[in-house]
Structures are given as structure tokens and as C-alpha cells.
Amino acid sequence: MPKSTPEQIRARFDADVERFSNLETGQSATMDAPLVLELVVQAAAAATPRARAALDLGCGAGNYSLKLLQALPNLDVTLLDLSRPMLERAAQRVQPQTTGRVTTVQADLRAYAPGPAQFDVILAAAVLHHLRADAEWQAAFAMLYAALRPGGSVWIADLVAHEHPGPQAVIWQRYGEYLTSLRDTAYRDTVFAYIEAEDSPRPLTYQLDRLRAAGFAQVDVLHKRGPFAAFGAVKGGAA
């Protein structure tokens, strides 16, 4: 079955701004979403306490940037998303919370080229799973590394796959049970359908290896539950 195109994915998110403006409803299908948000932000602040500029890849309605600004106030924030309505809502919410500059970029991350050493913190929540071929994953991690200043950090929260089909089946069954417990089997089937159509998650181990291959020497896993993980890396050099 062919995967959804970026245009199809953008159309779905264009129509879902209100839900994604609320972490509790926007990320209900993500296990431990509030905990992951806290962990990512706390890790970013601890690893990069003197940060001045942040990039929020696949920013949605801005939940991660808003939480980051509570820990690292008055950053310059660059918001990137496929969806123009999402960007507009994110900017509307984020700008009042910082004295820094807020910049919006409507783009596919695969076409984004910010230039070297632009950011101190990069957040990528529920976005990398849209990447497809190995070359796209490698290019994305290379871009993340290049875009960070020395001492900068990247933090990822995303859907992940598993290396072996046996554990993958076990985790997927348990995730289906989780989704059913939230609502019902129809909701489970809806979530599974859009994951099948849109997403191409890679194993956590694969992504940790890609971070190291891109140049990151310090790589850490913050949390994993079911098919979701939070992890990150710090670029070498003085902050």
C-alpha cells in the first residue's frame, strides 16, 4: 500500500489544529505523552542551559516550544511544520511567551536547510516517523547535527518500530489494547489506519546509530514505553 504523500498528510493536520492545541487531546494516542514532554524539556534545559535559539521541527500547535520556554525563557524560536494553520496557531501561542524572535517556516523537513550552527536546542516530536528511505533518515540526522551550535542538543519523541517481528507483534498488540482502553476498537482501528497510511517508524536502535553516525558522541535514551520513545544527543564542543 503506497504511503500518504506530504500533501495528504498536510491536509489532515490542516483540519486538526484545535485538537493538537491541547496536549491531553492532541496526543492521547501517544503513550505517556505528558511525561515525555516533561522529560524532553528538562533534558534540553539540563544539557543546554545557556541556549539562545531553538528549532521545533514538526511543531504542530506549539506545545513543545511552550513547555521549553518555561524552562529556558526568552529563546528565539523557529517553528517548522507542513501545515500553515498549525504554524499560525503555534506562533500565536508562542510569541507572547518569549521576548525572543519567533520565526515560522512552512516546509517538509526533508527540504529544510537552515545552514550550519543556527540553534542550541532542536526538538523533533512526532515528526521523524514520516521519513521513508534510509537516505532520508541519514540526511535528516546530518541536518540536525549541522544545524546545532557546538554544545547544542537535539531531543526526539516519536513512534518507533522494533528490530524483530516477534517483539514488534507483541508491542503492537499491547498498543492496540491501550488504544481500545482509551475509547473502543473503532478508535484503535482509526489510529492503526493512519499509522499504516502515513508513518514509517524505524527502531530506536536504528535511530541511535544514525545519531552517532551523524557525529553525535553523547546519545541518551530518556524513556520508552510500548512503541514510543524519547531520546536525544548532544553535539561536542563548547556551548
**pLDDT tens, per residue, the chain with 239 residues:** 677 677 766 666 555 656 655 555 457 789 999 999 999 999 999 999 999 999 999 999 999 999 999 999 999 999 999 999 989 999 999 999 999 999 999 999 999 999 999 999 999 999 999 999 999 999 999 999 999 999 999 999 999 999 999 999 999 999 999 999 999 999 999 999 989 998 999 999 999 999 999 999 899 999 999 999 999 999 998 76
Q: Which residues, in sequence order, are bridge partners of residue 102?
A: 77
**CB 117 within 8 Å of CB 149:** yes
Domain boundaries, the chain: 6-160+200-234
Ramachandran class of 237: left when φ > 0, alpha when ψ lies in -120 to 50, beta otherwise: left
Coil, strand, or helix at residue 81?
A: strand
Q: Which residues, in sequence order, are bridge partners of residue 53?
A: 76
Of 60, 98, 227, 230, residue with least CA distance to 153: 230
Q: Which residues, in sequence order, are bridge partners of residue 225?
A: 228
Report which secondary-structure segment, H or E, holds 179.
Answer: helix 165-182
Q: Which residues, in sequence order, are bridge partners of residue 16?
A: none
What is the Cα–Cα distance from 124 to 144, expressed in whole angstroms?
10
Dmax of the chain from CA atoms? 51
71 grid coordinates: 524552562
What is the Cα–Cα distance from 62 to 80, expressed in whole angstroms?
10
Phi, psi of 151, rounded to the nearest 5 degrees: 85, -5
CATH topology for the 6-160+200-234 domain? Rossmann fold (3.40.50)
